[in-house]
Every structure is written in structure tokens, then in C-alpha cells.
Amino acid sequence: MDVAEYAAHDATGLAELIRDGQVSASEVWTAAATALDAVEPELAAVAGERFDTPLDYDESGPFAGVPFALKDLIAHAGGVPSRSGSRLFGAGVTHPEDTHLVARFRRAGLAIGAITRSPEFGFNATTEALAYGGPSRNPWATDRSPGGSSGASAALVVSGALPMAHANDGGGSIRIPAAACGAVGLKPSRGRTTPGPDFADPLLGLGIEFAVTRTVRDSARLLDAVHGAEPGDRYLLPGPVRSYAEHAAAGSRPLRIAVTATPMDAGRAVDPECVAAVTHVAERLAEMGHVVEEAAPELDVVAFDKANLDAWCSFLADAVLGASAQLGVPANREHLEATTLACVEYGKTLSAFDIYAADRVFNQTTRAVAGFLTRYDVLLTPTTSAPPIPLGHLDADDASLSAREWYDRIFDYGSFTALFNVTGMPAISLPLAQTAAGLPIGIQFAGRHGDEATLLALAGDLERAMPWADRRPAVHAGR
């Protein structure tokens, strides 16, 4: 298998070739290694070095032998150092065992062959951590950000180096990179994928684990393979009536779809090309037989932003100060970026009362959106407020920024995504549009809690009606 053939297949296609004996898993890995080596000098997406051989995997799994990567945050493989994008961890901390989701990835047959970069502790909408010595870059334009915090994973997927890769999402970190790079980014419902054993509710319930892919069928088939609770998990969601892959293939029933291109904070600007893209997609959906209306839930944006800020900063304070104490490494500018320290300092001022207050706001917000979605099946928005931003725009080492100023800068760009982390509802970004200059624009669809099936069915229809498979970025392994 040559690299061009490898890069042309999604994960499902590669799994079928391996299963049918048309190519061996070792041949696929050789092509993947060559592809990774080809794009890495331009994208700087791998944390450290790719593995010489993949980690062990179940050869009977549905994705047996398909190359994959883990993001350097939250999920970890036993015996593989992890850094969470921070110099605080030095060369990395090695855990003795897999997290539950990583074990499920390996049981699904995924051949984990690299670790992808993360911004420091994941609190950024770009992937430019000092810990790795330079920014990860967007394969469409290397002076642009691939998004964050899963931007390195998205860059490798869209560049053809990997068919899909692990990602996680606490405020948009699956969907923002998917939008910036032109990938499919599904954030499942809270509880759909397991965060254990290290966490019960990462980031006060905001953090969700899954992946970025190139195709809808890969997202659906991967969710079929890894969804479900482990003993001790806080949530137990019912599975779909039929497989997610079947939903994606069968397509959608007629839906009532609400659409808005106005963020919760109406004072945040949205690029006209993003607005136009949403309008175009809404028109196509109406042509496909859906009822499309301009509408949005009414929310208290001031209370929302304070609660979301407090959740993030309490998480960062706990993570940083806990790691600092355990490792005996001081939490200072030598080991941490300036905005991380600012968030930690603010987080240290919060009390249990503040966290309970944030939880009350989250509850009020969730109930407002859930009530709105009794009248609509899906809410359609831009994924981000702008096309891919220049590198350096979100400088996490800017010592002039307070915690709140840093929060505002992140969510000025990711102004449509955080709502669905707070509500725990599923949301997906699809690469349905491009700017006049050819940069990707992501379109977000969000649905009712536990109803990934509706989103994947609609996404399957849109992939067939508005295909993106023939688009190739400037940096691509198959060129």
C-alpha cells in the first residue's frame, strides 16, 4: 500500500481492506508512518516522536489495524508518558494502565501510533503550547491555527496522515479544530463515553472524550465501538435503537431545525462568511424537506460566562496545584504559561459556594435549552465566530491578560460551542463550507441529550448532499 492509497481511505475503508486480506495491518502501519513523517515537519502535530510500532490492539476489533493517535490530555495509555501540554510535567508522567476509553479504543482494534499535542491543560482554542517548542499548524495554511485544544489531532486527520484521532472537548475542543481544519467533530452527550477511572465528571461535567474523523460513517462506527459506561461511572445512557452507523447510512426523517448565527453574547462579532455559510446550509436543509426557523434559546449570558469561567479556573487550579505538589515542581512561570497562572490564581480565590453557584447556573441553562429543544429537534449555528485564526492570536503566554480577559479571548472565537458542554447535549461540527480564500468553515448542529442518532443521521444526509471528500489541504500526505 502506498501513501496516496492509504491517505485516500477513511478508517472504515482501511478496516475493510485489512479484514478482506487485501492489505496487511503492517503494510497499513508502514504507510501511516511514512505519512506521519511526511507531514510532521510542516504541521508539528506529534508530541515527541511517533512510535516505531503501534501499541498492542485486539485483532478481532471492528477497526483492527487502523492507525490512530491519542491526544496528550486526560486519556492515557499505560506506560506512555503524558504531559497535558505543560512544562510542569517535564518529560512526562507515565501511568501504569490505560484509561477506560483508551482500553476501548484498543479493543476496537485501533493501532495507536502517536501522541498528539495539546495546549497547556487544554484551555485554549489553538494548539500552541510552549512545552513542545512551537505551534501546531493548519494543513490548509501553515500560518493559521488548527484550532484547539485538539488541533493537532484534527491537523493529522485532515492531512491524510491518520484516518481519525482521539480528541476531547471541554468548551469546543473537538468541534473548534474540526471547523478550523475541515474535519468531522462529534462531541457526544455527557455520559456517552467513559471518563474513568481518573475522573467522574471532568471539568465539573464539561469535559467529554471522543475523536475527530474525516467521514460521518467513521464517527458513527467509532461511537458504536466505544460508547457505554464502566462500573463506577456516574451516568448510564440508553444506547441507540439501532447502531449509529445504521442511522448515519439511513439518513434523517424530516426535522424541525432552529437556526441562529448570533452568539449568546450578541456583542461578540461573527465573520460575515460564517454567517453566509449558515444561511446557505439552512436553505439547503429547507430544500431537503426540513422545517427551518430562525430561533435560539433565551439565556443569561452574564451568569453563564461567570459560571463557565469559574468551572475552568477551579479545574485548572486543582490540576496545576495538585500536580505541583505531587511532582515537587513549583507552579511558576518557569513551568507554566502566563494565562494558566492567571487562571490558577483566580481559581484559588473561589470557594465551595462559588462552585455551587456555578452548578445552579448550569442547571438553569440546561433546563432552558432542553425546553427549547422540545419545540425543535436540532439547533444549527456556526461552529466558530471566524474562519481559522492566525497563529499567535491566542497567545497563552501573554502576561498582560487576566483570567477573565483570557477566557473572553478564547470564547470570542469559540462563542457557539461552550453552551453544549454546559448542557451535556451532543453537538457535531461538519465541514460544509469554505471561505473565498479556500479555508474551512465548520457548521455546528446540536441536539437533545442522548440523541446522537438524530445528529448522525442528519450529518450523513448532509455529507451526501454537500460532500467534502474531494477537498485536499496544501499539506497532505497523499500529494
Buried b (16+ CB within 10 A) or exposed e, 328-339: ebebeeebbbbb
d(CA 131, CA 366): 36
Strand partners, 327: none
Active site residues: 71, 149, 173
d(CA 154, CA 300): 32
d(CA 410, CA 51): 32
The sign of the torsion formed by the CA atoms of 45, 47, 50, 56 equals negative
Scan for cell 453566509, then name that residue. 276
Contacts of 351 (CB under 8 A, 6+ apart): none
Q: Residue 149, preceding bond cis, omega within 30 degrees? A: yes
Supply 34's cell numbers: 511514512
The 10 Å Cβ neighbour count of residue 348 is 14
Supply 186's cell numbers: 462529534
Supply 359's cell numbers: 452548578
Amino acid at 388: P
